[in-house]
Amino acid sequence: MIPLLLAHLVVAALCLAPGRHSARWALPFAALLSAATFGWLVSQSADILDGNPSTTNVEWIPELSLSITLRLDGFGLLMGLIVSGIGVLVLLYSMAYFGRREDLGRLAGLITGFAGAMLGIVWADGLLTLFVFWELTSITSFLLIGFTDKVPAARAAAVRAFLVTGAGGLCMLAGFIILTTSTGHTTISELVADPPSGTLTNVALVLVLLGAFTKSAQFPFHFWLPGAMAAPTPVSAYLHSATMVKAGLVVVARFAPTFAADGPWRWLIVSAGLTSLMLGGFRALRQQDAKLALAHGTVSQLGFLMVLLGLGTPAATYAGVAMLVAHALFKASLFLCVGVVDHEAGTRDMRRLRGLRRALPVVAASTTIAAASMAAVPPTFGFVTKEKAIDGLLDNEIGAIGTVALIGIAIGSVLTVAYTIRIAVGLLGDNAPGIDTADPDIDAADLAPVDPASIHRPSIGFVAAPALLAALSVIAGLAAGPVGDRIADAAASLDPETASKHLVLWPGFNGALLVSTLIVAAGVALWWFTRERTRTVDARQSFATVVYERTYDGLLDGARRTTVLTQSGSLPLYLAIVLVTLTAALGAALIAGATDSISSPRFSNSAVEFVVVLVTGAFAVAVPFSRTRFGAAVLLGGSGYALAIVYLVQGAPDLAITQFVVETLTIVVFLVVLARLPNEFSTAPPWAPRIARLGIAAGVGVTVALFALSASGSRTAPSVGADYIELSEPEAGGRNVVNVILVDFRGLDTLGEITVLAVAGAGVVNLVRAARRQQRRNRIEDSTDVVADAPSVRRQVGVWR
């Protein structure tokens, strides 16, 4: 497993390497890796499904007992097949979708990086391993949502998705840390084998659930998912319907069989899941953009899956795993179909589309089949799995909450049927929903129907992926028996009791079929009565989005206020604060007893020293009396040079050289900077009269001097100096012990210091260049006298460059 994950990293890096240069080889190259992953998983499947998980453990940071622990069990295998299989299809589909776009290397690299991270999530056994891959998918998702980074809405959606899922990830990390520290277990398999309980465990589990809810777009964190549709459609199909949003479900599925029975787990799962199921369903009914309708539908379906996988009963878990597969197949197919329509007809607005049945027959057929699977119509796999789910919930083993779940899922499924028909009819029907002319927000001219004759014919490669996924939805339905047994073997790694479960295409006339029939009938009726509704609900005005926006703006505003409060911009004030703090801290230490070690110092050791010290002091005393900045700088330099001589006299030539060179550079820098300032000192600010300035200066001088004396007299451990001198030549091959200390004995310190220097230097250069770019841009804007809201544009550009 590790080599495969590393291969994803390497391939991602190779694909990203060309940057913005054309790299058409990147997509097939990345698809090759996904295909190889798929093949490897298939080759392993017989053994794994027999119940022999393969585990890998790599020490990462043994000092912190951190290791990368992976475990390929049946569920991990199944998820891995989904991730890699749909990955291959999406990457091949992208070749046709993007055509000759320039930055395909970036797309392929990011998708591959994501696929690697996603495989890490589904294979992770170590809690921290899981967290690391979890956050990696958040980052790649951020980059992919904002892939068309010139669109402000895409960038905002990317930030929103990242903040929500990232915050959830941190909650989950906190939960994992509580679980690890309270039990000593660092892997999921250990936790499941020896489950803790109690209040602390419940707190941890709630935190883990928060992470899962944000990732799987569950209420109240569902709002980022529709925004994420700003990503290119292949990315939406892959990340935001088939794989990444399932990461939360994966975690829930692994924990639920053990932890669902106690504490608030089931109620949290059921309330969040059912709310998402219904909210998503309602929203999906009110969209005109087919892709957005699918996105809201995904929120809804994820809610369904969350309930099933979170209940923790064997029946629900088994149905949940099966539906997970069904959902991945039909939802990816639908997204890819919408992508073809968008590409060939130029719009996804269902009000404008007509005649697609004749223009895009393969897409129409695929859409119909996938939609049938989504609405749970026989003989599709969606039907088979939903039967199983309802059947499992009818055999209620868990009391009231099971009943609530069943009723909620039934109502949600009615909505699912209704919006599925709406999407299918909207895309493929000839009677597009009428245009609400009374709505002032709608411009009828924008909604002119697309002429079917103008729709391009997609290539076979373009429609192959959605068609294959749709075909699989039917094949899996017809072969429900054997497929169900494989899924039972896979789900057995979550809960051994599921091993005996089966799927059947035709269960006979039973309670579940009755419920399903009622659901479909009610769904058709609901669609019929709402089919004329054309007013769209703007997801941007939804309550959750508003709360998010307020919080986000409030945070930034608070930060701005704090900055204004603490950063006055006055250099004298900053200096005064720093110096007074220094005096207070050192003074407190001295008063607290550090004065004991102060020895009465000798003024000088020799006549030469006496003179040099006198000169140093004289220069220093003269500085404040200088009327000009230039003079002060030179006097300061004189004091520095004199100090270099003190070092020389004391027998430290290295220090002297360094002091001398640094002093020279400092003076030169002073001169260059002073050339831009008025020659005379400016008048002191009113809050700092002469007496205050004198006080601060005297305070700093006295405390620093006393502290230096105290520090040099307070040695408790023996000096290592003698050892250094002794070891310098034999150990490090150098006779200059000062230099040997710098580059060998304390080489790591030096490395740290030069790293700081490097960061500072690179920072200076980049700041200067950024300011330069900004100026140039401003000048262009000024000269062409563009757009009234240029400042806001500029601010955005400034943030995002």
Partner 1 sequence: MIRPMTARDPKWSVVLGATVTGLTPILLLFSIFLTLRGHNAPGGGFSGGLVMGSAVILRYLASGPAGTRTLRIDPIALIGAGLMIAVGVGLTSLVVDASFLESAIWKDDLPVIGEIKIVSSSIFDIGVHILVVGVVMAMVIAFAEADDEVRERR
Tokens of 397: 């083993």
Nearest distance from C-beta of residue 635 to partner 1, angstroms = 16
Nearest distance from C-beta of residue 647 to partner 1, angstroms = 11
118-126, 341-349, 617-625, 735-743 -> range binding partner 1 (CB under 8 A): 735-743
Our CB check for partner 1 shows the closer of 355 and 734 to be 734
60 binds partner 1 (CB under 8 A): no
735 binds partner 1 (CB under 8 A): yes
Determine the angle formed by the axes of helices 247-259 and 265-285, rounding to 10 degrees.
150
761 binds partner 1 (CB under 8 A): yes
Query: What sign has the CA pseudo-torsion 394, 322, 220, 261?
Result: positive
Kindly report the number of other CB atoms within 10 A of residue 187's CB atom. 22
Distance CA 129, CA 123 (A): 9
Our CB check for partner 1 shows the closer of 705 and 751 to be 751
The single residue listed with the structure tokens 């996924």 is 469
Task: Identify the CA nearest to 52 among candidates 604, 695, 354, 492.
Answer: 492
734 binds partner 1 (CB under 8 A): yes
680 binds partner 1 (CB under 8 A): no
Chosen residue from 669, 684, 694, 786 binding partner 1 by CB under 8 A: 669
Residue 597, CB-side half-sphere exposure with 13 Å CA sphere:
15
DSSP string for 324-386: HHHHHHHHHHHHHHHHHHHHHHS--BTTT---HHHHSHHHHHHHHHHHHHHTT-TTSHHHHHH
657 binds partner 1 (CB under 8 A): yes
195-203, 515-523, 554-562, 765-773 -> range binding partner 1 (CB under 8 A): 765-773
* Amino acid in position 6: L
75-83, 423-431, 555-563, 752-760 -> range binding partner 1 (CB under 8 A): 752-760
578 binds partner 1 (CB under 8 A): no
Chosen residue from 425, 615, 738, 790 binding partner 1 by CB under 8 A: 738
476 binds partner 1 (CB under 8 A): no
Distance CA 341, CA 330 (A): 16
Kindly report the number of other CB atoms within 10 A of residue 788's CB atom. 6
Query: Residue 33: beta bridge partners?
Result: none
Our CB check for partner 1 shows the closer of 347 and 736 to be 736
Tokens of 229: 């549709």
Cβ atoms of 599 and 713 within 8 Å: the answer is yes
Task: Identify the CA nearest to 76 among candidates 30, 133, 32.
Answer: 133
Task: Identify the CA nearest to 384 among candidates 482, 494, 269.
Answer: 482
Our CB check for partner 1 shows the closer of 194 and 731 to be 731
Nearest distance from C-beta of residue 2 to partner 1, angstroms = 21
* Amino acid in position 563: T
556 binds partner 1 (CB under 8 A): no
DSSP string for 384-451: HHHHHHHHHHHS--STHHHHHHHHHHHHHHHHHHHHHHHHHHHHH-SSPPPP-TT-TT--GGGGPPPP
Our CB check for partner 1 shows the closer of 564 and 758 to be 758
Chosen residue from 733, 784, 788, 789 binding partner 1 by CB under 8 A: 733
Nearest distance from C-beta of residue 61 to partner 1, angstroms = 15
Nearest distance from C-beta of residue 555 to partner 1, angstroms = 32
Please state whether the peptide bond connecting residue 220 to the residue before it is cis, i.e. omega within 30 degrees of 0.
Answer: yes
Distance CA 473, CA 386 (A): 13
Cβ atoms of 299 and 273 within 8 Å: the answer is no
Query: Residue 59: beta bridge partners?
Result: 67
* Amino acid in position 32: L
Cβ atoms of 270 and 404 within 8 Å: the answer is yes
Distance CA 347, CA 235 (A): 18
What mask, x for binding partner 1 by CB under 8 A, covers residues 619 to 648? -----------x------------------
36-44, 364-372, 506-514, 741-749 -> range binding partner 1 (CB under 8 A): 741-749
34-42, 71-79, 566-574, 669-677 -> range binding partner 1 (CB under 8 A): 669-677
433 binds partner 1 (CB under 8 A): no
765 binds partner 1 (CB under 8 A): yes
Our CB check for partner 1 shows the closer of 430 and 782 to be 782
Cβ atoms of 382 and 330 within 8 Å: the answer is yes
727 binds partner 1 (CB under 8 A): no
With the CA atoms of 567, 677, 690 and 636 taken in that order, what torsion angle do they form, in degrees rounded to the nearest 10?
A: 100
742 binds partner 1 (CB under 8 A): yes
Task: Identify the CA nearest to 182 among candidates 133, 134, 127, 131.
Answer: 127
Q: Which of residues 176-205 bind partner 1 (CB under 8 A)?
A: none
668 binds partner 1 (CB under 8 A): yes
Chosen residue from 151, 525, 768, 780 binding partner 1 by CB under 8 A: 768
Q: Which of residues 208-247 bind partner 1 (CB under 8 A)?
A: none
107-115, 230-238, 256-264, 738-746 -> range binding partner 1 (CB under 8 A): 738-746
Task: Tell me the Ramachandran region of residue 399: left when phi exceeds 0, alpha when psi lies from -120 to 50, beta otherwise.
Answer: left
672 binds partner 1 (CB under 8 A): yes
Chosen residue from 775, 778, 792, 796 binding partner 1 by CB under 8 A: 775
Our CB check for partner 1 shows the closer of 617 and 761 to be 761
671 binds partner 1 (CB under 8 A): yes
Our CB check for partner 1 shows the closer of 576 and 738 to be 738
664 binds partner 1 (CB under 8 A): yes
736 binds partner 1 (CB under 8 A): yes
772 binds partner 1 (CB under 8 A): yes
- The site that binds partner 1 (CB under 8 A) totals a number of residues, namely 49
220-228, 393-401, 703-711, 744-752 -> range binding partner 1 (CB under 8 A): 744-752
Query: Residue 166: beta bridge partners?
Result: none
The site for partner 1 (CB under 8 A) is made up of 630, 653-654, 656-658, 661-662, 664-665, 668-669, 671-673, 675-676, 679, 731-736, 738-740, 742-744, 747-748, 750-751, 754-755, 757-758, 760-762, 764-768, 771-772, 775
